[in-house]
Structure 1
Amino acid sequence: MNKLRLILISVICLLGCKKERLDEKKDNRFITENKALSTTRIVNLSMYNQVVANGDTLTKYILRLGDEAQRYIPTLYFPKDGILGTIWQVPQDLFRANGIAQMDFNDGITRLKLPVTEKYGRPTDYYLLTDSLAGQPRIEGQPAYVAVERGVGQPSKPDHFKIRILNLSARSKVQIDGDQLESLEGPVSLAYADGSLVAPQTTNVTAAQRLSDYIELPYGSYQFRVLTPDGRQLPGSAPVNTNNKIIYPSNSTISTRTTNSFESAMLTFAPVASYQPGGVYTIVIAPYNFSYYDGIYEKKGALQNGFRVITDVNPGVNNTYYRLQGVNALPGSSNLGFRINGKALASGISYGQSSDYGRLIQGMASIEAVDASGKVLATLTGQVLRPGQNYSAWLYPDQQGGAKLTLVANDLSGFDAGTPSPDGGAQNGLANDFMFNKRFLNLSPDNPYITFTFDNGQLDFNQKATVNLQPGLPITEMPYIISARPGYNKTFQIMAYRSSPAVVPGSWAEDIVVLKNTAFVADELLYMSAGRDVPIQEPGIYTVALIGRTGNGVTEANKAKLIIVKHNR
């Protein structure tokens, strides 16, 4: 009887029971309808946020709901927030049979009408400039928009990227309260963080010429600067931290607020960013909207020439290459070399110096340090080197007078994971593109515990990164001090203290010369030649290492000292 009942229940379930769909997943994408994209892009450098195409409104205007803040409504063409952003790749279905879409861009007050053309085989960007406000022209020397062909060809070397200059600088007609903006229109040159020029093709690019040729550079982390002919720096216009968009009017540096006034940080914002292998980029110089301080109050409306980086080709995630350099921290050595899997990585590295980066394919690796004759001094085997990572191989002495290698992974992302929370997560995580990150290493075997401090033994907030560092053992959890401490406008020095697990910071190591803030400025002439004040320090990702020996009989050249390795260019 029970068997018959079981059979009947099974038949009923097969006929009438609804099967539970366990494999259903929510689709959280902004765009759920596939739309074929054209090769034409709108690059919006102005305040426009609304788009009408061929008479149809593609965006949504502001919606007010009672006392709520202003909100935007997603639309089919702008499904994230319903407004035009910086870069918009125009869908193909907006172009008529003649290949033209009549576009109307506006911000509720100012309007710009133009025909946008799909040029097959010639990808094109339409750059919309900040031309007028309520019908009043704000710039002179440039039209309201400029159409520029976009390069989509890959670099000739797969571990390189391509970059060029687009100079759309113009004279601003905008006056601001209480001060005069400096003039930054005219020819511009692309430079590295230390002020050295990148290439002839990207030097003295005029507004009449507009476009430079693309050049190819090894992928990596760079802080590109844009210079006028007399060496003044143009400010970056799209910082992650919006405080860096508040400029000091007379010299376009970052403006900082004090209790009763404001002052220049003596630094011009330029982002520290990663440029990926296979990527193609354009650095666009144009008038942008900045803010400024009027007394102690922030005000909008400082229209100044600046720059921002536009990605022409996004290569996606780097799943192939990593970067590796060698650093010679072995006293008494010179002309040192490094090999990776038996192949030369670098040679001729002096004591206290680092090599250039090699770009290598991810995987298992063996690293060797060799002297000038090729004799192997130290080896690291079985190292799994992962794509997208940045490594430094440090050669340093052990207590017995031999040599060791230690491999350190450098974090160049600029991301601050924030304060650890009790549940094992983190609070206040923050991305940054203008970082002053410093990591510390103890590579001196005669100093079993070293604590790094600021003036007068003052510890950094992140003591994990600085307290009781042991020889050859890099800190891996929260390894950087991340703030601009002691700030933009206060000098500082880094000191080494001989400490112990029970005594922190310990005794000041008077025999180790302190490292002053000026050591974090690559070339003071970059500022002085342009009539600027030299800043307290420059942004970047640094390692500060104690190298050398301590004790009787140690030569002056081999005495323990602090060195700096900067990991972005």
Structure 2
Amino acid sequence: MMIRCIQYLLLCLLGAGMVSCTKKVDFSYDNRVNTGADAASGIRIVNLRGATELMVNGQQLTSFLAPDKEDGYNESNTIGTIYFPGTGRMGLTYYIPQRFVNADGMATDIRFANLTLKRRINLTRGVSAKDDFNHPTDYYFTSFAGADSLMAIPRSISSPANPENFKIRLLNLGVNDYAVKGPVSMTWADGAPIAGLENVAPGAYSDYIEIPYGTYQFKVFATAGGQVPGVGGSTLDLDVIDPLTGRIMMDGRRIYPNQVGLTDSKLTFSPFKTFQPGGVYTIVVADCPNFRFPTGNPNGETVTAKYNAFRIINDIEPQNITYARLQAINVLPGKKISVTVDGETVGGALDFAVASEYARYIRGEHTVKVMDDGGAVLIEKSLSLSPADNESMWVYEGKDGKAAISFVANNLSAVYYNGATEDGTYSNLQTEYPSWVRFMNFCPDLPEVTFTQENGQLFSDPFPGQHLLTGVPVIQSPYVKFNTGFYNSILAYASQPAVLPGDWLRNVAVLKGQQFIANPALYKAGLPGSEPGFYTVALVGYMEQARMIIIKHNK
């Protein structure tokens, strides 16, 4: 009987299984997120107007949360969205997702807003943008011709013909509301013009040109009013400018002689940037809301302001995984030399205390040779280069009286370690307007040298200038980071391990801050205390004829 019951139960279970196998399941619904629809279209918004909110096709892509009563954002009104997961607010550039592009290739009813009190933008009228794969186009949101506009500007997506170079152009969307206005031209840091990037009229743009990759401080000049300020520097209060000139207004206590209130620094802010090999960039001049004007109050009070200014837009910025940069510097007393890398001369024949221009090399092992003006090899060494290295090859006289090479890595990123030790989140900082000086000793008969300010005072970053051995660079925190427009004097001392600063080298001419200015003729209204940049100050020559030289590593 028991066996029959078990057989009956097995038959019931088998029947139920057969019925369940014939049940149809609906697989047509998939609740997974369609990431393809959120992929970027070819429509890139460049937000020069300072909008924080974006709406497309009636849908809010940003959070549209207003700031607090102090016009700031905190954790309560910083809530990410699907499209802006970080802060829920717009940044400088944004590619509109494909889901907002219709069958005709159009993204419609694009609107912008800024909910802050100081830079408020009421929700703009709706505009459209076309997604054209064959003709990539940027849409610059800016004030132009008296109204908020979305300007369609074609962009290049083709790489430079020479892979060691980058491509760059100049776009002028400036307005006539300010003293600095009109056609614009781009120059090197010393004010020398760059061919092909000159006299660009408002509403126009230049062709792309190719420039060897590297760290540059480009400047922009207008035909009316002079130099155009760049956007940035707010962390150092360098966004406070004179409305008549665009020059930085600095705390008078940082100017020599000291003054009360905000004072003209004679400097105009221009950012530093490493432009990558294979990159494509646009320098755009536009009406930018990123500044403050002094009110005239001696307490340094300011008001939020707009001004014609330039920004650097990355059209394409690949990572440098191939190239490094090298320069040769001759500090070998009484010798004219040539330096070759893998048989190619770096900068031609070099006189004493002269640096070559930078040359570019592929990562890996290289052979460096130094020859005198008769062709005799003085020294040969191997050098290993990694991508993005920036190296100076200092040829000097060693302790044995023979030629030696000091390979010195230069930090042109303006990133430095600030000493934080918790989880590392805040241990690295970046300055936007560096006045960084490294000190070196290449005096053959001075085994140790210390550099100071006036009257033997140590620098605010004391260690990079202390107890410097011949040909040996400081590795950890190697730069003295001066204030913008520094006016300090620099003196050299013969020091000893237990003596600081040591004996003042009276025969070595004192360096003044204004000797760090590449082209004094550029400053029509008077000279600043100094110019920003990445520098090396080196003591060279035998002690009786020793002098300090300045090498600037950015152009």
With the length of structure 1 as denominator, give the TM-score of the two structures: 0.84
Question: 2:155 and 2:301 mapped to 1: Cα distance?
Answer: 37
Question: 1:65 and 1:475 mapped to 2: Cα distance?
Answer: 47
Q: Give 2:79's aligned amino acid.
A: I
Question: 2:443 and 2:423 mapped to 1: Cα distance?
Answer: 33
**Aligned pair 1:186/2:182, yes or no?**
yes
Q: Which segment drifts farther, 39-48 or 298-307? A: 298-307
1:157 to 150, 153, 162: 162
Question: 1:393 and 1:424 mapped to 2: Cα distance?
Answer: 36
Q: CA deviation at 1:346?
A: 2.7
Q: CA deviation at 1:94?
A: 0.7
Match of 1:445 in 2: 444
**Aligned pair 1:111/2:124, yes or no?**
yes
- Aligned to 1:93, what secondary structure does the other structure show? helix
**Aligned pair 1:126/2:112, yes or no?**
no
For 1:304-343, what aligned pairs fall within 5 Å after superposition? 304-315=307-318, 317-334=319-336, 336-343=337-344
Q: Which segment drifts farther, 100-109 or 515-524? A: 100-109
Change (3 A) 1:511 1:230: farther
Q: CA deviation at 1:547?
A: 0.7
Deviations 1:37-92 (A, max 9, x none): 11110001113222221122222121689999451321122222222221001111
Deviations 1:354-396 (A, max 9, x none): 0011100011122111123322112222x22111010000111
Change (3 A) 1:426 1:409: farther
Q: CA deviation at 1:230?
A: 6.2
For 1:227-306, what aligned pairs fall within 5 Å after superposition? 227-229=221-223, 232-239=226-233, 241=235, 243-258=237-252, 260-289=260-289, 290-294=291-295, 295=297, 296-306=299-309
**Aligned pair 1:537/2:530, yes or no?**
yes
Point out where structure 2 has 5 or more consecutive residues left out of the alignment. 1-32, 116-121, 254-259
**Aligned pair 1:57/2:60, yes or no?**
yes
Q: Which segment drifts farther, 221-230 or 296-305? A: 296-305
Change (3 A) 1:240 1:217: farther
Q: Give 1:481's aligned amino acid.
A: V
Match of 2:473 in 1: 474
Question: 1:284 and 1:445 mapped to 2: Cα distance?
Answer: 49
Quick check: which has more Rg, 1 or 2? 2
Match of 2:22 in 1: none
Q: CA deviation at 1:427?
A: 6.6
Deviations 1:192-250 (A, max 9, x none): 10000111x10111114x11000000000000000123682111113363622111222
Change (3 A) 1:74 1:427: closer
Q: Give 2:201's aligned amino acid.
A: T
Question: Contact between 1:379 and 1:404, CA under 8 Å: does it hold in 2?
Answer: no
Q: Give 1:537's aligned amino acid.
A: S
Q: Which segment drifts farther, 291-300 or 211-220? A: 291-300
For 1:458-537, what aligned pairs fall within 5 Å after superposition? 458-484=457-483, 488=485, 491-528=487-524, 532-537=525-530
Question: Contact between 1:419 and 1:426, CA under 8 Å: does it hold in 2?
Answer: no
- Aligned to 1:248, what secondary structure does the other structure show? coil
Question: 2:463 and 2:424 mapped to 1: Cα distance?
Answer: 17
Question: Contact between 2:179 and 2:243, CA under 8 Å: does it hold in 1?
Answer: no
Q: Which segment drifts farther, 444-453 or 299-308? A: 299-308
Q: CA deviation at 1:32?
A: 11
Q: CA deviation at 1:411?
A: 0.6
1:40 to 43, 59, 62: 43
In the alignment of these two chains, the number of paired residues is 503
Question: Contact between 2:187 and 2:220, CA under 8 Å: does it hold in 1?
Answer: yes
Change (3 A) 1:357 1:231: farther
Change (3 A) 1:424 1:147: closer
Question: Contact between 2:438 and 2:478, CA under 8 Å: does it hold in 1?
Answer: yes
Question: Contact between 2:180 and 2:224, CA under 8 Å: does it hold in 1?
Answer: no
Question: Contact between 1:417 and 1:426, CA under 8 Å: does it hold in 2?
Answer: no
Match of 1:14 in 2: none
Q: CA deviation at 1:163?
A: 0.3
**Aligned pair 1:562/2:548, yes or no?**
yes
**Aligned pair 1:353/2:354, yes or no?**
yes
Q: Give 1:390's aligned amino acid.
A: N
Change (3 A) 1:284 1:64: closer
Match of 2:199 in 1: 204
Q: Give 1:236's aligned amino acid.
A: G
Question: Contact between 1:205 and 1:212, CA under 8 Å: does it hold in 2?
Answer: yes
Question: Contact between 1:465 and 1:481, CA under 8 Å: does it hold in 2?
Answer: yes
Match of 1:83 in 2: 89
Question: Contact between 1:346 and 1:355, CA under 8 Å: does it hold in 2?
Answer: yes
Point out where structure 1 has 5 or more consecutive residues left out of the alignment. 1-30, 132-138, 173-181, 552-558
- Aligned to 1:518, what secondary structure does the other structure show? helix
Q: Give 1:248's aligned amino acid.
A: D
Match of 2:20 in 1: none
Q: CA deviation at 1:516?
A: 1.4
Question: 2:182 and 2:34 mapped to 1: Cα distance?
Answer: 45
